[in-house]
Amino acid sequence: MTTPAPRPGADLRIRAATPADVPQILALIRELALYEREPDAVVATEDLLHRALFEDALGTLQGGPRTLSHAPRSGPVAECLMGELVDGASAGQAWTVQGFALFFVNYSTWTGRPGLYLEDLFVRPAHRGRGLGRALFTEVARLAARRGCRRMEWAVLDWNTPAIDFYKRLGAVAMSDWTTFRLAADDAVAPALGPALDAFARD
């Protein structure tokens, strides 16, 4: 049974990211990588994040006029929500960013409709248990519903039982019959695939 999600209260709020948030977003990504035991895996920069979230990222990242190798869309390729907390509601106390959710549109051939892929959802460990993660997730789900998406998807490390339990409490179903694959430009297998990956590695 799905647990109803609380709406943000007086000490919690969710808002859309702005360009001024990019340094904090990158800091949170690095904290997430540390939590997921891959502290050296983050190669993103503030410039790359700014392009992805607030510019015509597919054009500016690849450069030059669009060709068949460029996706037929423009604008940001991802979106981000910021989760803020304040201790108490008295005047003069500042809101501080303690979590974020970053997501983008994908597509299902089975449903014939778009979906949302949740790339990252992270709340700093010291601030968990206050409903911020649930509020971030709920807002992404609301956005998906308003945009006509048929589903949301995301990946969780198999050892991350707190996250797995969190999503199960929200009614999510683990896709245990599926295996996730990845091919990166710097993978050892890439040279064996020949010139087809040369442009991929350069872009």
The predicted-structure confidence for 112-142, as pLDDT tens digits, reads as follows 999 999 999 999 999 999 999 999 999 999 9
For residue 66, the enclosing domain spans 12-176
- Please check the confidence at residue 184 and state whether its pLDDT lies above 60: yes
For residue 188 the two structure tokens come to: 């050892």
Burial of 202 (0-12, 13-18, 19+ CB in 10 A): exposed
**Do the domain assignments include residue 151?**
yes
Q: Is residue 191 assigned to a domain?
A: no
* 107 is a catalytic site residue: no
- Give domain status of residue 21, yes or no: yes
| Mean pLDDT for all residues in the chain | 84
- Predicted TM-score (pTM) of this structure: 0.81
Q: Domain holding 108: CATH number? A: 3.40.630.30
Residue 188 predicted with pLDDT over 70:
no
pLDDT at 154 over 50: yes
**162/69: higher pLDDT:** 162
Structural domain includes residue 190: no
In terms of pLDDT, which residue wins out, 87 or 182?
182
Residue 130 lies in a domain: yes
**Which position among 35, 107, 117, 167 bears the catalytic label?**
167
> What are the residues facing 102 on neighbouring strands?
80, 120
Asked whether residue 200 is domain-assigned, the answer is: no
Q: How confident is the model over 3-59, as pLDDT tens digits?
A: 444 445 668 999 999 999 999 999 999 999 999 999 999 999 999 999 999 997 665
Is residue 140 in a domain? yes
Residue 194 inside a domain? The answer is no
- pLDDT higher than threshold 90 for residue 201: no
The owner of tokens 């960013």 is 97
Domain count, the chain: 1
